[in-house]
Structure 1
Amino acid sequence: MADNNNPFSNLEAKFKSVENKPKTEKAPADFKKHYKTFIAIFLAFIVIVIAFANVYVVKEGDYKIIRQFGEVVDVKYKPGVYMKIPFVQSVTTIPKYQMNYKLSEKEINTKDKRRIIIDNYAVWRVVDPKQMIKSAGSLVGASSRMEEFIYSVVRSELGQLEYNDIINDENSSRGSLNDKITAEVNNHLLKDKYGIEVVDVRIKRIDLPEENEQSVYNEMISERQKIAQKFLSTGDADKRRIEAETDRKVKEMLATAKKEAAIIEAEGEAEAAKIYNLSFSKDPEFYSLYRTLESYKRTIGPDTMIIIPSASPYARILSGYLK
């Protein structure tokens, strides 16, 4: 209760009423201010997220295909950072580098009507990504078309060769088959504008159908036996030729040696006779005695019986009487 005699009682009552009044009048204004700030931050975050989501990087070994509503509108070749239009454009990556592709095994017929199974692989790359997308739609489509061309060319080329020419590496009729196949496939791809290039096509393996393996193995064994027999025959002929040539040379060498030996022997005998004559002419009596002794050596043996007169010079010499 207010005191009527106190002049400040009304003033105090007014202050108390102001202090006790709830402070809720500024709340709506503060809430609106914070709400607008939150919306601005949220929108900025959304913009940043969208911007980062539509930034793409072109690497050294990639092509970037930019599509808009399904149509190719641009191709990025140079490395760098780019941005696409959000929700309108999409980006597809295609490699620049060479790729390996293993072809499915195919059965073909050779010129001599033999069935063989060919296992190939190819090395290829994209040279015009825009043309490749336009013609094939994707890497899978391009590789499928490439495989069809390779199979067609391989079947055509091997169909012109005999079976033995294909499996026999020593036979030159096979030639540079891989290079011919590669060139022919590239001609087809370039003609149809697929935007891809085959770097190399290789025949990795040539197999036979199971039902033909045994007969082919027997034929290969027979062929190898013929080759071995040919080598053996050639070796025997070479052996006989070398032996005959050696015998001829030996006979010639022996004849030459005998001839030279006879000449040397004749010259030696002539020289010996000359020395004998010169020596014996100096003492005829000694020469007569030497000749007599030589005749004894040729005449008398271990079982020789000689009957001669005791007065003969021959008997006298044998008896030790030289005069």
Structure 2
Amino acid sequence: MHRHKKPAMFLVVLVLVVLYASLFVVQEGQRGIVLRFGKVLRDSNKKPLIYNPGLHVKIPFIEMLKNLDARIQTMENQADRFVTMEKKDLIVDSYIKWQISDFSRYYLATDGGDVLQAEVLMKRKFSDRLRSELGRMDVKGIVTDSRNRLMTDLREALNNGTSGDDKTQATAADNAIASAAARVERETNGLQQAVNPNSMAALGIKVVDVRIKQINLPTEVSDAIYQRMRAEREAVARRHRSQGQEEAEKLRAAADYEVTYTLAEAERQALITRGEADAQTAQLYSEAFSKEPLFYNFIRSLRAYENSFNGHNDVMVLNQEDDFFRFMKSPEDTVAIRP
């Protein structure tokens, strides 16, 4: 009985393995393409079969699943040098947001959904188009509101391509995209919907947004402008310092004048006041002494004595009967004092 159970168990395991290998799941945000013996499965129009998110069935061990990212992707562009209408160089840093719009065309045009190949073609196309657009604009227009219009025009040009009336010559990127578009037409026997061969639609790609992050001047130009601005600022600073020193000298001269004038005026007022005081003093003395002439003579003699005998070694040879000593005699010897 145990011998019968082993083949049954083996058969159940084999069925489960085959069933597991037959089922595959496409995750949300992805699309699936099935390869049979290395070749993509196609529909009646020779277009690759695209599997939407969900559970699907394939032939086990013969067919393989390849996933394509359906989400919006960001491609950073390396800062590059561009020339404006004024023949001035600018360093422009930008990025592109894109997603797959036609998975079957994208798969055929990029050799099996090679993201690197798609981004290389898109970057070359974007760089050529941006170079052409910036060559028609001046620096002022690029850094002002015209930049928004520039990014819109770039997005439209990438998505729709250029018309035959556009005088812009075909670039290497245009030729590469056109070659990929021709390969898709050959592989689908011309049943694929016609698109402009120099647009991103030829690769099955839609450009969602184009943004310019930074616009800078080249290093050598920036250094020259910085040195010129520095020289201008230093000239302005020197002019301001010179003007300040001139104003300081004017203020200092005005202050010195005010000091000199104030001191002179004060000295003049002091002399006038002192003269008036001396005049008033003399007048008072005159009025006082005119009332008492004898007392005036007595005061004058005392002042003369004080000035004559104020030293320690003064020697005077005078007659004792001289009138100079009349106030130094005793009262009974003093004759009437005459004025």
TM-score (norm 1): 0.52
Question: Higher relative contact order by CA 8 Å / sep ≥ 6: 1 or 2?
Answer: 2
- Looking at structure 2, the residues matched to 207 and 42 of structure 1 have their Cα atoms a distance apart, in angstroms, of 70
Is 1:125 matched up with 2:99?
A: yes
After TM superposition, give the deviation of residue 129 of structure 1 in Å: 0.6
After TM superposition, give the deviation of residue 185 of structure 1 in Å: 0.9
Per the alignment, residue 9 of structure 2 pairs with 41
Q: 1:201 to 1:175 in 2, by over 3 A?
A: closer
User: Counterpart of 1:191 in structure 2: which amino acid?
Assistant: N
Secondary structure at the counterpart of residue 215 of structure 1: helix
Per the alignment, residue 64 of structure 1 pairs with 32
- Looking at structure 2, the residues matched to 84 and 43 of structure 1 have their Cα atoms a distance apart, in angstroms, of 20
Per the alignment, residue 147 of structure 1 pairs with 123
Is 1:102 matched up with 2:76?
A: yes
The C-alpha deviation readout for 1:255-275, integer Å capped at 9, x for no partner, is xxxxxxxxxxxxxxxxxxxxx
Secondary structure at the counterpart of residue 49 of structure 2: strand
2:21 and 2:61 in contact (8 A); partners too: no
Is 1:205 matched up with 2:214?
A: yes
User: How many residues are aligned here?
Assistant: 189
Secondary structure at the counterpart of residue 108 of structure 2: helix
Choose 103-112 or 153-162, whichever is displaced more.
103-112
Q: Structure 1: which 5+ runs fail to align?
A: 1-29, 225-323
Per the alignment, residue 306 of structure 1 pairs with none
- Looking at structure 1, the residues matched to 231 and 71 of structure 2 have their Cα atoms a distance apart, in angstroms, of 47
User: Counterpart of 2:69 in structure 1: which amino acid?
Assistant: P
1:109 and 1:155 in contact (8 A); partners too: yes
Q: 1:156 to 1:216 in 2, by over 3 A?
A: farther
Secondary structure at the counterpart of residue 38 of structure 1: helix
Per the alignment, residue 61 of structure 2 pairs with 87
- Looking at structure 2, the residues matched to 39 and 62 of structure 1 have their Cα atoms a distance apart, in angstroms, of 40
The C-alpha deviation readout for 1:49-107, integer Å capped at 9, x for no partner, is 23213411234432111122232214334433111112221111223232222122222
Choose 209-218 or 85-94, whichever is displaced more.
209-218
Per the alignment, residue 261 of structure 2 pairs with none
The C-alpha deviation readout for 1:112-168, integer Å capped at 9, x for no partner, is 22222221111111111110010012223222221111111111111222234323x
Per the alignment, residue 261 of structure 1 pairs with none
- Looking at structure 2, the residues matched to 136 and 142 of structure 1 have their Cα atoms a distance apart, in angstroms, of 6
Q: 1:216 to 1:40 in 2, by over 3 A?
A: farther
CA RMSD in angstroms comes to: 2.9
Per the alignment, residue 185 of structure 1 pairs with 158
Per the alignment, residue 191 of structure 2 pairs with none
User: Counterpart of 1:122 in structure 2: which amino acid?
Assistant: I
Q: Structure 2: which 5+ runs fail to align?
A: 42-47, 162-176, 178-194, 234-339
Q: 1:166 to 1:58 in 2, by over 3 A?
A: same
